[in-house]
Amino acid sequence: MMKSPTSHITRISLYLPSFVLFAWGGYLWYQKLFAAPGAPVDTSASFNTRLVAVYIGSPTCGPSNHPDLPALLRTIRTHLRAYAETHRQGVHFVGVAISRSPADGLKHLERMGPFHEVAAGGRWNSLAFRGLRAMHGGAAATPQLVLYLDAESHPRLLLRLVGVDRIRQWVQAGMPLAEPDMVLSP
């Protein structure tokens, strides 16, 4: 029995919509599984500028494991989301764990999260930390919060806070953002 030349095309045309629906469903499942609870899927690509908040911590650093730090970071996330929405900017949260073990670093970031992106392992030589430091300078210290404005291809440092006390003071002061070209640091 000879197959018609169009049967192969018909079979492909039946499988293609199924594949597309399967791929889209997988993408949505991935977003639901890995999206930060309480944080929307990152929509900052639809804005010309976005606020990027980078938390740098370590599972072996006492101050990075201070019991107040997760609540402070939650407050900061809520405030930055509202600020970004008001100013028609995107917002993106990044967690960097300075750790020997990526698994230990990820556990630490999970306690401090949620984040849109994470990097763990490599200690102070991690590509994430070295890239951030090359872009904005700063101390090799944890915990640290770095906030910058990513405007098209010109990121601008807004503030760098080192230490739980400095992060707490900034939150208690209402989380003011720096004026252009002014960096708040200890």
Query: Global pTM?
Result: 0.70
Give me the pLDDT at residue 163, please: 93
Read off the pLDDT of each residue in 98-113 and give the average, rounded to a whole number: 91
pLDDT at 22 over 80: no
Residue 50 pLDDT exceeds 50: yes
Q: What is the largest CA-CA distance in the chain?
A: 82
Asked whether the predicted pLDDT for residue 150 surpasses 80, the reply is yes
- What pLDDT sits at residue 57? 92
pLDDT over 70 for what percent of the chain? 66
Of residues 94, 100, 106, 90, the one with CA closest to residue 56: 94
Least confident of 67-81, 82-96, 133-147: 133-147
Give the model's pLDDT for residue 164.
95
pLDDT of 114 > 90? The answer is yes
In this prediction, residue 44 carries a pLDDT of: 47
Q: What is the pLDDT of residue 119?
A: 87
Q: How confident is the model at residue 9 (pLDDT cuts 50, 70, 90)?
A: low
Percent of the chain with pLDDT over 90: 35
CA distances from 5 to 13, 16, 59, 141 (A): 13, 18, 62, 67
Rounded Cα gap, residues 35 and 43, in angstroms: 12
How much is the pLDDT for 1? 56
Dihedral (CA of 148, 149, 150, 154) sign: negative
Single out the residue of 147, 152, 98 nearest to residue 125, CA to CA: 98
